[in-house]
Structure 1
Amino acid sequence: MKFEKVVIKNFRNFDNVELDLSNKNIFFGLNDVGKTNFLYALRYVFDKDIRKQNLLDSDFHNKQLDKPIEIVVTIDISDVADSDCQKLRAQLKGALLSKHNKVYIKLFAEYSKTEMLALPILSWGGDINHLYEMKQRGYLYEIDYVFNVIYIDSYVDLYSLFKKNVSQLVRNEKDEDKDILAKIQNTVDDLNGHIASLSGIKEFEDKLTPEYQKFHDEGISVSIKSEIAVKGLYSNIIPYIKQDNDDNLYPTAGEGRKKLLAYSIYDILSDENAEKKINLFLIEEPENHLHKSMQIALSQILFTDSKYTYLFVTTHSPFVLYEMDNVNLVRIYSERKINSISTFYKVPDAYEKNRKMLNRCLSEAIFANKVLLVEGPSEYMLFSKVLSVVHPFYEVDGIYILPVDGVGFETYFSILDELEIFNVVKTDNDLRAVTGKGTYSVLGFSRCNNYIGEKRLPTKQIQENSVSAKRSLYNSNINTLDKIRSDFHIFLSKVDLENDLDEFLHDRLSALLDNDNPVKYLQDAKHYHMVELIEKLSDTDCRTIYNHYNFACLKEVAE
C-alpha cells in the first residue's frame, strides 16, 4: 500500500492544494503556514476522534461558507500480496472492483447556517467519478475499522495518555492473577477493619448514637465503618523511573523523559492494532523538549523502524531528519497565499553508509529561504564573516551557507530546486590533467554545463595549468559566464577562493597576514589560516569583498 496524493480544497489555510505523497512524509516550513492544518486535514479523513467534533465556520478557508470543504486522498493498492492492501480491499467490498488499483477516499462537508457547523460525509471507491458513501455506526465510519490513527502532538501529556489506555496496556489474564486479586480484596477488607477500630472512630460512635436517639429512639445505634474500595484497579498507578543498581523510584518529571515514555506507550498501542488495522502515525514537532542527541536517536527510530510504515511528521528541527531516507519532503510556504510543494528524496547509494553526513547539511538547508552552496569550510568561514557584517541578521532572514565538502553540488541543489528554495552555487574554475597527453580538461566549465543541462561553455582542453591560464580562460568567456550567473545563479570563480581574493586585495592580505605571498599562505593550512584572516578583516574589508565582482554570489543570495 502506498499513499500517492492528497487534494485539499477550502480547508483552513488551504484554498486549493494538490500534493504528491509517499508513505513517509515530512512537512516543514515557517510558523503559521499550515503544517498542523495539513495533519488535521488527514485527521478529519482518518481519525474518528477529531472527525466526531464536526467542522466549524473557522475550518473553511477565509470563512467561505458557500463553498464546501473537500479532502481527497489517493492510495495505491496495486500490490495484491501486501497485507495492508488486502485489509483495505476487504473493507471496501463492493466499492472496489478487482480491476481497480487505487482507492480514493473523500471527505465532503457543506456548512449549515441553521446548525452553524458542517457534518463530514465520507465516501470511497476505486473510481474517483463514482464513489460510494461510507456506512456509519454511531460516529464510526467504515474507514475506522481499517485505519488506526496514532496522533502524537508536540506537548503530549504522559499521564493522561497512560490513564486513558492503561486498561489496554495492562492485562491480568494469567491464573496466578486470580489469587493476587483475591489477596488485594482481603487486604482492602483488613484495611477497612483497622480503620473502623481506631479509638477516635469508637469515641465518635459513642457520642453520635445518644445524640441521634434524642430525636428518634428506636433501639438502634450508629456505627462508623470504612468503605475504601478499589474503584478501577489501575486508577492510581503512574510510571516511575528506576536507575540500575538503585532501588529508589524517581518521578518522571523531565518533559524530555515524559515524551520518550509517551512514544514508548504509543509503540505498544500500535502493536496491539497492527494485525487488524493499518497504523497511521501523525506526529507533530517531535523535537520539543528533546536534546539534540535524543532527536537524532528518535530520527533513527522513525525512519528505520518498520512499525512506522505510514508516517506524517511536522518539524522545525534538522536533527529529526538525520536518518531520513525514502521520504517525501513537503515544503509549506506563504507567498500572499499558502502554497506547498513536495519532492521525493532518497539517499544516494554512494552515501548510504554516511547518511548523516549528507542529511545533516541538507536537512538544515531545507528550512532556509535562500541557500548559498560553496565548496568547503574556507568559503563557509569567509562568507559567514562577510555576511555577518553586511547583513547581520542574514540567518534570521532565512539565508543559509552550505559547504558541500566533496559531496557534490547537484546532490543538494536538485532537491532545493524541487522544493523551490532559491539557491546559488559558488564553485572553483578547476582544471584536471589528462593522463598521457600533457593537456588539461576544463573541469569547472564542464561542471557548469552539466549543472545547467546544456553546453554553453567550451570544453576543449588547454595546454597550461596556471593562475594566468585560468583567468584568461574565464575572461575569454565572461559574457557567457555572466549569462549563466543571471539565468542559473551559478557563479564560477575566476580561479579559486584565495586567488580571487588576492586579485583585488593583495596588499591588504599581505599586511593582515604579514606575508608577501598570501595565496600560498592561505592554501598551506586552509582552515587555520582562514580563521586567522577572518579575525583580522575589518568591516570595510568585508564590504569590499561583498561588492566585488569576484564574490557577487553574496549579493545574489542576500539581496
Structure 2
Amino acid sequence: MKFESISIKNFRNFEDIKIDLANKNVFFGMNDVGKTNFLYALRYVFDREVRKQNLLDTDFYKKHTENPIDITITIDISDTQDSDSQKLRAQLKGALLSSHDKVYIRLLAAYDKQEFMALPVLYWGGEINDLQEMKTRGYFYEIDYVVNVLYIDSYVDLYSLFKKNTNTLIVNDNEKDKDILEQIQTTVDDLNTNISSLSGIKSFEEKIAPEYQKFRNDKISVSVKSEIAVKGLYSNIVPYIKQENDDLLYPTSGEGRKKLLVYSIFDLLSEETEEKKINIFLIEEPENHLHRSMQIALSHILFVDKKYSYLFLTTHSPFVLSEMDNVNLVRIYNETKIDSKSVFYKVPDKFKNQRKMLNRGLTEAIFADKVLLVEGPSENVLFGKVLSVINPLYEADGVYILPVGGFGFKPYYEILDTLRIDNVIKTDNDLRKIKGKQEFSVLGFSRVNGYIGESKLPATPIKKDGVEAKRALYDDNKDALNEIREKYSIFLSRCSLEEDLDEVIHDEMVKYLTNADNDVIGYLHEAKNYHMVELVEKLTDDDCRKIYEHYNFECLKEVMS
C-alpha cells in the first residue's frame, strides 16, 4: 500500500491544491500557510473523532459555501501481497474490482444554509468517476474499521492520554491478578474506613449537608471517599520515572520527559491495532520541548522504525529530519495564494554512511526562502559577515548560506529547485592538470555546463595553469558567464575565493593579516577556515560594503534581492 496523492478543494486556506504523497511525508513552510490545516484534511477523511464534529462555514475557503469541500486521496494497492493492501481490498468489497490497483477515497461536504453546517460524506472505490458512498453505522464509516489514526499534536497532554487509554495499556490477565485485586479492594475499604474516622472529615460531612439544604431541601448526606473506591483502581494513577539502581520515584514534570512518554504510549497503542488495522501517524511539530539531541533520537525512530510506516509530519526543525530517508518533502508556501511543491528524497547510496551530514545541510536549507550554496566554510564565514553588515536580520528574512563541503552542489540544488526555493551557486574557477600531458582541464567551466545542462562554456583544456591563466580564461568568456549569472544564478569566481577577495581589499588584508608576511593569499590558503576567521574578525563595515558592491561577489546581491 502506497499513498500516491491528495487533492484539496475549498477547504480552509486551500482553494485548489494537489500534492504528491509517499508513505512518509514531511510538511514544512512558514507559519500560517496551512500545515495544520493539511493534517486536518487528512483527519476529516480518516479520523471519525474529528469527522463527527461536522464542518462550519469557516472551514470553507474564504467562506465560499456555494461550492462543496472536496478532499480526494489516492492510494496504490497494486502490491497484492502487502498486508495493508489486503486489508483495504477486504473492506472495500464490492466497491473495488480485482483488476483495480488504486483506491480513491473522497470526502464531499456541501453546506446546508438552514443547519449552518456541512455534513461530511465519504465515498470510495477503484474508479475515480464511479465511487460508491461508504456505509455508515452511527458515526462509523466503513473506513473506520480498517484505518486507525494516531494524531500527536505538539502539546499533547500526557496524563489525559494515559487515563483515556488505561484499559488498553494495562490489562490484568494473569491468574494471580484476581487475588491481588481482591487484596487491593480490601485495602481501599480499610483506607476509606480510616478516612471516615478522621475528625476533620466527620466535621466537614456534618456541616456541609445543612448548608446544601438551604439551597435545596433534599434529604441527603455527604460522604468523603477516595476516588479509587468510586471511579475504580486506575482513577488516579499516573506514570513516574524510576532511575536504574534508585528506589526513588521522579515525577514526569519536565515537558521533554512527558513528550517522550507520549510517543512511547502511542507506540504501544499502535501495536494493539496493527494486526487488524492500518495505523496512520499524523504528527505536529514534535520538536516542541525537546532538546536537540532528543530531536535527533526521535528522528531515528520516526524514519527508521517500522511502526511509522505511514507518516505525515509537520516541523520547523532540521534536527527532526536528521535521519530522514525515503521521504516525501512537501513545501507549503504563500506567494499570491497558498500553493505547494513536493519532491521524493532518497539519500544517495554513495552518501549513506554520511547521511546525517548530508541531511543536516539540506534540512536547514529547505526552511529558508533563498539559499546561497557555497563550497566550504571559508565562504560561509566571509559571506555571513558581509551579509550581517548589509542586513543584520538576513537570516530572519529567509536567507541562508549553505556550505556543500564534499557533497558538491547537485544533491542540494536539485531538491531546492523542485521545491521552488530560490538558490544561488558560488563556485571556483578550478583547473586540473591532465595526467601525462602539459594541459589543464577547465573543471570550473565543466561544472557550470553540467549544472545548466548545456555547453555554454568551452570545455577544451588549456596550456597554462595559475591565477593569470584562470583570469584570462574568465575574461575571454565573460559575456557567457554574465548571461549564466543572470539566467541561472550561478556565479563562477574569476579565480578562487582568496584571489577574488584580494582584488577587492588587498591593502586591507595586508594590514589585518600581520602574520602573513605580505603573502595574504598563501596565508589564507594555508589554513583556510582558521585564517579566514582571523581576517573576518577585523573587517570593518566599510570593508564589507566594498566586498558586497564588487563584481566578484555579486552573488551576495543576488541572494539578497
TM-score normalised to structure 1 length? 0.95
Residue 526 of structure 1 corresponds to which residue in structure 2?
A: 528
For residues 103-142 of structure 1, the aligned pairs below 5 Å read 103-142=103-142
* Paired residue type of 1:518: V
**Residues in 2 aligned to 1:202 and 1:282: alpha-carbon distance in whole angstroms:** 51
- Tell me by how many angstroms 1:246 deviates: 1.6
* Paired residue type of 1:20: D
SS in structure 1 of the partner of residue 501 of structure 2: helix
**Residues in 2 aligned to 1:110 and 1:124: alpha-carbon distance in whole angstroms:** 17
Larger Rg: 1
Asked if 1:310 is matched to 2:300, the reply is no
SS in structure 2 of the partner of residue 406 of structure 1: helix
For residues 31-430 of structure 1, the aligned pairs below 5 Å read 31-194=31-194, 229-430=229-430
Rate the CA distance shift 1:227–1:544 in 2: closer, same or farther, 3 A: closer
**What's the CA shift string for 1:447-482, capped at 9, x where partnerless?**
000000011110000111110000000000000000
Contact 2:195–2:225 (8 Å) recurs in 1: no
Rate the CA distance shift 1:548–1:227 in 2: closer, same or farther, 3 A: closer
**Residues in 1 aligned to 2:546 and 2:234: alpha-carbon distance in whole angstroms:** 71
Residue 215 of structure 2 corresponds to which residue in structure 1?
A: none
Structure 2 alignment gaps of length 5 or more: 208-219
* Paired residue type of 1:419: L
Residue 210 of structure 2 corresponds to which residue in structure 1?
A: none
Rate the CA distance shift 1:521–1:180 in 2: closer, same or farther, 3 A: same
Residue 437 of structure 1 corresponds to which residue in structure 2?
A: 437
* Paired residue type of 1:155: Y
**What's the CA shift string for 1:236-255, capped at 9, x where partnerless?**
10001112222111111001
SS in structure 1 of the partner of residue 114 of structure 2: coil
**What's the CA shift string for 1:18-42, capped at 9, x where partnerless?**
1100000000000000000000000
* Paired residue type of 1:537: L
Residue 550 of structure 1 corresponds to which residue in structure 2?
A: 552
- Tell me by how many angstroms 1:539 deviates: 0.6
Rate the CA distance shift 1:305–1:196 in 2: closer, same or farther, 3 A: closer
**Residues in 2 aligned to 1:336 and 1:11: alpha-carbon distance in whole angstroms:** 17
- Tell me by how many angstroms 1:231 deviates: 2.3
Residue 540 of structure 2 corresponds to which residue in structure 1?
A: 538
**Residues in 1 aligned to 2:190 and 2:251: alpha-carbon distance in whole angstroms:** 30
* Paired residue type of 1:551: F
**CA-atom RMSD, angstroms?**
2.0
**Residues in 1 aligned to 2:247 and 2:391: alpha-carbon distance in whole angstroms:** 56
* Paired residue type of 1:483: E
**Residues in 1 aligned to 2:221 and 2:319: alpha-carbon distance in whole angstroms:** 65
Rate the CA distance shift 1:203–1:516 in 2: closer, same or farther, 3 A: closer
Rate the CA distance shift 1:198–1:155 in 2: closer, same or farther, 3 A: closer
**Residues in 1 aligned to 2:221 and 2:513: alpha-carbon distance in whole angstroms:** 97
- Tell me by how many angstroms 1:181 deviates: 1.3
**What's the CA shift string for 1:203-255, capped at 9, x where partnerless?**
999x99xxxxxxxxxxxxx9999876252220110001112222111111001
- Tell me by how many angstroms 1:336 deviates: 2.2
Contact 1:192–1:225 (8 Å) recurs in 2: no
Rate the CA distance shift 1:33–1:195 in 2: closer, same or farther, 3 A: closer
* Paired residue type of 2:478: I
**Residues in 1 aligned to 2:201 and 2:43: alpha-carbon distance in whole angstroms:** 56
**Residues in 2 aligned to 1:225 and 1:40: alpha-carbon distance in whole angstroms:** 45
**Residues in 1 aligned to 2:369 and 2:199: alpha-carbon distance in whole angstroms:** 76
- Tell me by how many angstroms 1:157 deviates: 0.2
- Tell me by how many angstroms 1:89 deviates: 0.2
**Residues in 2 aligned to 1:223 and 1:349: alpha-carbon distance in whole angstroms:** 75
**Residues in 2 aligned to 1:287 and 1:474: alpha-carbon distance in whole angstroms:** 47
Asked if 1:457 is matched to 2:472, the reply is no
Rate the CA distance shift 1:224–1:140 in 2: closer, same or farther, 3 A: closer
Contact 1:72–1:106 (8 Å) recurs in 2: yes
**Residues in 1 aligned to 2:495 and 2:471: alpha-carbon distance in whole angstroms:** 6
SS in structure 2 of the partner of residue 307 of structure 1: helix
**What's the CA shift string for 1:160-180, capped at 9, x where partnerless?**
000000011001111111111
Q: What stretches of structure 1 move > 4 A for 4+ residues in a row?
A: 192-205, 222-228
Moved more, 227-236 or 53-62: 227-236
* Paired residue type of 1:424: V
**Residues in 2 aligned to 1:202 and 1:500: alpha-carbon distance in whole angstroms:** 89
Identity of aligned residues (%): 68
- Tell me by how many angstroms 1:505 deviates: 2.0
SS in structure 1 of the partner of residue 456 of structure 2: coil
Residue 213 of structure 1 corresponds to which residue in structure 2?
A: none
Contact 1:201–1:224 (8 Å) recurs in 2: no
* Paired residue type of 2:274: A
* Paired residue type of 2:187: T
**Residues in 2 aligned to 1:21 and 1:471: alpha-carbon distance in whole angstroms:** 48
Residue 216 of structure 1 corresponds to which residue in structure 2?
A: none
